[in-house]
């Protein structure tokens, strides 16, 4: 990142999963959801099935672009999870419990970093490969109000590293790309941000405000 400072920036965009938020014990929560349906599996199998579903979701998160397509995506994700477990449950019926079991929380140090970035006078947005429900998840844990915009690959019509998601965020923030920094934890974050003309800094968020001050 070199000697980039807050004075050279107007905005910071932040990746969601792994950078801003993480999941709170998904195998445990999913195990409880399964047991409520009379299905018992070893925790290791539940974790492996969730990892299979997560890979499936990452490739298709942008398909959940409205209420109808999001419902289909969630059903299909539940189906992948149940199939990996060999569990004979109806995916559409299990989907609400599956989604409800996925509880998000802020990555340690992220909330403090976001507060410091705001105090530095920077405009903030979340930019993430996610379906259109991301803002609801952030609202539920009290993070949405800290950002001027929450931009998903579902809204942009393409996932990172496609630069369109970054360009949409810049448009909503009303800033030029050369005055914006993106923070993320993947090659797609860096490639997409740089393609949009932005600077890039790798996660974690903790410590970033001090480096920009």
Averaged pLDDT for residues 186-211 = 97
Give the whole-angstrom CA distance, residue 176 versus residue 196.
10
Read off the pLDDT of residues 38-88 as tens digits, 9 standing for 90 and up.
999 999 999 999 999 999 999 999 999 999 999 999 999 999 999 999 999
Residue 182: beta bridge partners? 13, 200
pTM for the full predicted model? 0.94
* pLDDT interval class at 166 (50, 70, 90): very high
Averaged pLDDT for residues 27-45 = 98
Cα 49 to its chain centre, rounded Å, is 20
Helix (H, G, I), strand (E, B) or coil at 168: helix
Listed by start position, the domains of the chain span 6-22+105-212, 25-102
Specify the pLDDT at position 2.
55
- Give the other-Cβ count within 10 Å of 183's Cβ: 25
> Own/partner pairs for 155-159, CB < 8 Å, 24+ apart?
155/65, 156/62, 157/62, 157/65, 158/62, 159/61, 159/62, 159/129, 159/188
* pLDDT interval class at 1 (50, 70, 90): very low
Q: Which CATH superfamily is domain 6-22+105-212 in?
A: HAD superfamily/HAD-like (3.40.50.1000)
Specify the pLDDT at position 3.
74
- % of residues, the chain, pLDDT over 70: 99
């Amino acid at each position: 990142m070199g000697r980039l400072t807050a004075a050279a920036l107007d905005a910071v965009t932040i990746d969601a999963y792994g950078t801003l938020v993480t999941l709170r014990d998904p195998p445990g929560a999913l195990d409880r959801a399964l047991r409520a349906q009379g299905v018992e599996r070893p925790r290791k199998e539940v974790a492996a099935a969730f990892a299979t579903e997560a890979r499936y979701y990452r490739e298709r998160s942008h398909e959940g672009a409205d209420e109808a397509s999001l419902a289909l995506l969630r059903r299909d994700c539940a189906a992948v999870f149940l199939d990996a477990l060999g569990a004979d449950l109806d995916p559409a019926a299990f989907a609400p419990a599956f989604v409800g079991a996925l509880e998000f929380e802020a990555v340690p140090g992220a909330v403090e970093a976001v507060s410091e970035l705001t105090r530095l006078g920077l405009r903030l947005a979340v930019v993430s490969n996610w379906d259109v429900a991301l803002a609801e998840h952030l609202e539920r844990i009290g993070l949405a109000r800290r950002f001027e915009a929450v931009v998903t690959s579902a809204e942009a019509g393409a996932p990172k590293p496609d630069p369109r998601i970054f360009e949409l965020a810049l448009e909503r923030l009303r800033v030029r790309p050369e005055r914006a920094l993106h923070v993320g934890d993947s090659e797609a974050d860096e490639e997409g941000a740089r393609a949009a003309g932005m600077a890039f800094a790798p996660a974690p968020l903790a410590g970033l405000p001090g480096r920009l001050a």
